[in-house]
Amino acid sequence: MNPLHLRKLRPFLQLLPGCALCALFSTGCATVQVAVPKPVVIDVNMKVDVTTKTDPAAQPGTPGAPGTAANPSATPDGAAEEHNLVSGEVQSLKDSRLIGEDNKGYLDVRKLPTGKLPSGEDYGAYVQRLVKEEDDARRVLNLQTAAKEGAPLQTIESESAKRWQDAAFPGEWVQDDQGNWKQK
């Protein structure tokens, strides 16, 4: 080959490695298949327990007799049931700062509301009734615990008060040992 001819081709020969790389990378696209051999399966098993308060008239036996739905606080098991049935309503009243936990393990009305409920019941009477129901249930449970442990009722009430006050949310009313009320 003529050296003069190679001189004329030199600029093209210098571009040749770059062109080869471009050709290599432009044809390097390929399809990659990703397949999962078995789909992911999540097995969820759930158990739901629903507890409802039944109409006392629908219960067999004498209405108001000890241990019947009309008087659940007459037995320790009934007291626990009654406590569970009103606990959401009690918490709502605590959140509204209408009631608080006293230093004996029972509830106390801090502010008696006025007005009527949609059912027509006086709101203040409703709060007092609910506090009495909850306190009656707590009293039965405290008496049962005192009998079981052979401890004085006052000791059990003190321990109960501490547990209830420790479980209170910030802002709820609690009574200290000296009888003073404060928001937690």
* Residue at 74: amino acid letter: A
Secondary structure letter of residue 74 according to DSSP: G
Least Cα distance to 78 among 59, 97, 102, 104 occurs for: 59
Which of 166, 162, 158, 165 minimizes the C-alpha distance to 142? 158
Tokens of 24: 């290599």
CA distance 106 to 137: 10
- pLDDT tens digits, residue range 109-165? 999 999 999 999 999 999 999 999 999 999 999 999 999 999 999 999 999 999 999
pLDDT in tens, 18-77: 666 666 566 555 666 666 667 667 777 766 666 555 444 444 333 333 433 333 344 445
Q: Nearest CA to 92 among 113, 118, 121?
A: 113
Distance CA 178, CA 16 (A): 97
